[in-house]
Amino acid sequence: MSKSLAGKIALVTGASSGIGAATAVALAAAGATVAISARRADRLAELVAKIEATGGKALALPGDMMNEAEAIQAVEDTVARFGRIDILVNSAGVMQAGGIEQADMDLFRKVFDINLFATLYTCKAAVAHMLEQGGGDIINVSSMAGRKGGPLTSAYSGSKHAVNAMTDGMRQELGGRNIRVSILMPGATETEVASGIVNPEWRDMIAAHVSKDGAVKASEMADTIVFMLSLPRNVNISEIHVRPTIDTTA
């Protein structure tokens, strides 16, 4: 891979697995110095070692992005260590079933706290630095569920619709000041997303969905992110859908 992001400083949230972890590896391979944050410190340490073993530079910043103070601290620690933040990739997220009958309000709040508000916390903190330094890039990882709904998807799909709306508003607000803001909407992607789902039927369904033949690999989503970031500054991919070739659903 070419060093298209040489000299850039990036922060990736949700970096202990899945798209977040793959993105950290891909950014480092493209020349960026990468700060990585997630709750599982052991996973982050392993990822730092992996990146450094191939000549990359990485910093582990364990934290819970659902906690506003810890989310902001991840941004501030990145800037304190490296002097700036050029790239923010928000990949921290959770999936849960969420129908309206006997809706679990605590579960709904948790899904929105992680998927929407955690993204808001880091974006607000990073934007202040990006404006001061003269520019930057923010990519928020959403989902194809952010373009549609369905039975039992109210919590997850609702949170991702909100992420999409917030992100596009940010793009319009910040584009004139050299901050590109983009939405990445993955379809079926091989990750651990199903492992934390409480509802056993939905857990099995999502596990089958993300492991089906032809599912996109997390590394392929990461390559998409590097592509988006490597385009000329006058080009902002406002949103991109990435799904398996064999997926012909609307």
Is the pLDDT assigned to residue 1 strictly greater than 70? no
Could you give the CA distance from residue 206 to residue 194 in angstroms, rounded to a whole number? 6
CATH number given to 9-240:
3.40.50.720
Q: Is 121 a catalytic residue?
A: no
Q: What is the pLDDT of residue 162?
A: 97
Is the pLDDT assigned to residue 36 strictly greater than 80? yes
Q: Which of 82, 112, 121, 156 is an active site residue? A: 156
Q: What are phi and psi of 88, to 5 degrees?
A: -125, 125
Q: Quick one: average pLDDT of 46-53?
A: 98
Cβ count near 88 (within 10 Å):
29
Could you give the CA distance from residue 237 to residue 126 in angstroms, rounded to a whole number? 19
Burial class from Cβ neighbours inside 10 Å (0-12, 13-18, 19+) for residue 7 reads exposed
- Say if strands 87-90 and 57-60 run parallel, antiparallel, or are unpaired: unpaired
Mean pLDDT of the chain: 94
Q: Quick one: average pLDDT of 94-105?
A: 87
CB 230 within 8 A of CB 30: yes
- Helix H or strand E encompassing 136: strand 136-141
Cβ count near 152 (within 10 Å):
18
What are the extents of the domains in the chain? Answer: 9-240
Is the pLDDT assigned to residue 109 strictly greater than 60? yes
Dump pLDDT digits (tens) for 111-165.
999 999 999 999 999 999 999 999 999 999 999 889 888 888 899 999 999 999 9
- CA 161, 162, 164, 169 torsion: positive or negative? positive
Q: What is the pLDDT of residue 249?
A: 62
Q: What is the pLDDT of residue 124?
A: 98
